[in-house]
Chains A and B, each alone.
Chain A
Amino acid sequence: MSTSPLASASTRAPRPPASRAPGRRRRGLGPRALTYTVLAVGLVLWLIPFVWMILGSVKTQGEILQKPPTWWPENPTGENFAQWFGPLGIGHFFVNSLVVAVITVLGNMVFCSMVGYALAKMQFPGKRVLFTLVMITLMVPGVVTFVPLFVMVSKLGLVNTYPALILPFLTAPIGVFLMRQFIQGIPDALLEAARLDGAGEWRIFARIVMPLCGPPLATLGILTFLSSWNNFLWPLVAAQGEDMYTLPVALSLYSTGQNATNYGLLLAGSVLVIAPIILLFVFLQRWFIRGVATTGLK
């Protein structure tokens, strides 16, 4: 496996080795075709869980329980989805997830770019301390904060409210890092010119810096949306009534207890939770992947 990719890498060399017949269009088809075949088989296996999820979501409970399992649904049914949209009221959980994610994204964009600008282009006492603190929190595992966070949120009477779901995620350290890195790259001359024209720092930030920050804001937005949409541990603790459940919390609570083996229903729920993010991913995949490559976080 590990030799074939490199073998095919050598075929990318502009001049094929002498042993190969000159002028052949299909240079090195052998090793490259082998690489792609292995990759294709691997990819099919890799994506089977998704295929199995979709197929299972339209099977009847009777067919789900059949042994051995059927591959293709014998009498496809929309009943599982109807359950979610009807009595289980997935629309409400969807709205909760969306509200939390959108506010978290917007909040992070505003907060992180402001701090990022100050850290990148201004000199002030406490700057180094602030940046170090923010970077240290990148390493702090979620379980460290959530116990005192829960105590605090209960004290403030915020349990089971939107603020409880949103506030702890409004200040993503990675966002500060991302914005600071990018804004550092903006030439000082540009800002100096505006200063000479009499523009204040807020004006410079709003009119010059922000319009240039499209790429890191897109990356930050996507990363924040993704982690908010998939966030599980904190919403599970903070949302204690059905009215505040986000999609993953609702799905996880339905999949324990009496519904634990009602796989048709649960798989339909999974499809509904995953579908929006997969759609987003397929359309914006360049940004997703750029985000990971630059920040190293998912």
Chain B
Amino acid sequence: MSTILTGGCCDTPSAPLIPLGDKGPGGRSGEIRTVALIGPPNSGKSTLFNRLTRLRQKVGNYPGVTVEQRVGLLAGAKHPIRIIDLPGVYSLTPYSDDERVAVNVLSGKMDGLPRPDAILLVLDVTHLSRHLVLAAPVIALGLPTLVLLNMADVFKRGGGSLDVLKLAGELGAPVAMVSATHETGLEVVDRFLNQDQNPSPSALLPVLQDLGQYRKWAGQVGGRVDYQPHLPSKWSRRLDDIVLHRVWGPLIFILVVGAVFQTVFGLGQPMSAAFQDLLTRVGQQAAPFIHNDLLRSLLLDGLWKGVSSVLVFLPQILLLFLFIGLLEDSGYLARAALIADRTMRSVGLNGKAFIPLLSAYACAVPAIMATRTIENKRDRIATILVAPFMTCSARLPIYTLLIAAFIPERPVIGVFLGSRACAMLSLYVLGFLAAIATAKLLKSSVLKSAANPFVLELPAYRWPTWNSIGLRLLDRGRVFLRQAGTIILAVSLLIWVLTNLPLHNGHVPQLEQSVIAHLGHAIEPVIRPLGFNWKIGIGLLTSVIAREVIVGTLGTIYGTDPATHALTLQNALRQDLTFAGAMALLVFFAFAMQCTSTLAIVRRETNSWKWPAIQFAYMTCVAYFAAFAVNQILSALTH
């Protein structure tokens, strides 16, 4: 891939850094310390950001809005250079949150961020006439700007061409052809950023009022720089003839979705189980080295267990993101959204919500992280709020336990479907129905979509690159561990303290004498109408960390109780719970928001405590009243 860099700025890459002192307030030197990365959506900006920073980045949120803030450090720079990755925007007219953030950052009005010293403008060269619209207002800001024409590989392969020198002349800024996915041409960025002075743009660009005029200007510039659009590869179109075929399209869709689902379950589940075993064994290995009983209990039963309960999600999350990454980078994800849109619309969501909701069957955490592809903020929040109703894998341990204990195996449809499988299936359907009903409720009230219509860009098919998917997996994994990890650590610690207080002569109390048992007794009057006793109450309290924790807690409670310690957990439960109470407990777990990781991720993705709080309250209420109804009706029927 050839790199053309023009504009007369980067001829002396190794020139010494001379502080100029005349640039900007406070005698700032000419060297670049902060650079903003801006470009339209789908211009490959994020890939470029990951490449330039090598993931040395901090992810947060801009104050007050659900716009993600990514700030990274340029890898391999002579002095630290901060890169701010701005949200993808088509223009600088502040119509959306994204655009307002971009304008504020570029003009130095964003709290906590200095005004950038330079701009990297990323444009997709295969859509130059549309993307140039952004170039005019960005370059007109007067900051040193490097224009990166991304996707140069696709462009050249498709026979596209343009005169880069002429374009640089038109824009008054250096222009370079690059490919972020293949990492070609990127050395110009280092040269641009590491030299002592960068001239401000030299051309006078039009400041126009409306997009139509900008579009016309972009078209004229395209003509003057001999822009020859590339021919979109024929096979992309031909592939779409099959993939979006009236009959084959939906069939392929179901096949792909089924394969992903099957792999995540078939592979992810045992991987998670094996990982759990490994983590438990690590804990056991470490146990003899900690001599103080209380400290050992704190470190192992409290912290390590809490950390493990987050870590066990990792294999599934990474596996899911691997597939979502493959689907997204290849271009199929957009096609899937197109096919699913008709169906999703009937519940008030859009096609882009389909894959996230499907992922929620494995785990709500990656599902909620995957909703970032939904640009419409209200649709995105609605999807985030309904995702935890999908039957995630953390519900399976308690489901299997209760079904095995209370539902005798009988054939329902011959040999194909037994009563136990039938019960499991009903729970899946129940969660799904709750999600749909909630979506409808939200979309017809508080989250009614205004303004932004549903648009979906169908990118040309591409081969995904391992490098780009690997970087994304690393990034997602880190975000999950940091966000969920910190909150879950705090909650685990709290629960451990409640389980181990008050001390009796310096010894930890029996579970029945602990604070958490008192809490269990305290909430008994509230949960008695659901058919639950105080032991289940403790389980409900501890499982706020994660749903599967209840199984361990119940095991401990019944194991230490002299009346039941000789029995298996199944038998103990059968003695202690009524059939109606057990069914109510299943229904409770189908609806309740017993997952701190999910709450932490929702808080992160929506940038407020409001949504996770509403979600927790709503789901707990639904769970409570549904369990209440189930217990009352079944008790009346069985008596």
Decide if A and B are genuine partners.
no
Q: Taking beta carbons and an 8 Å cutoff, which residues of B are in contact with A?
A: none
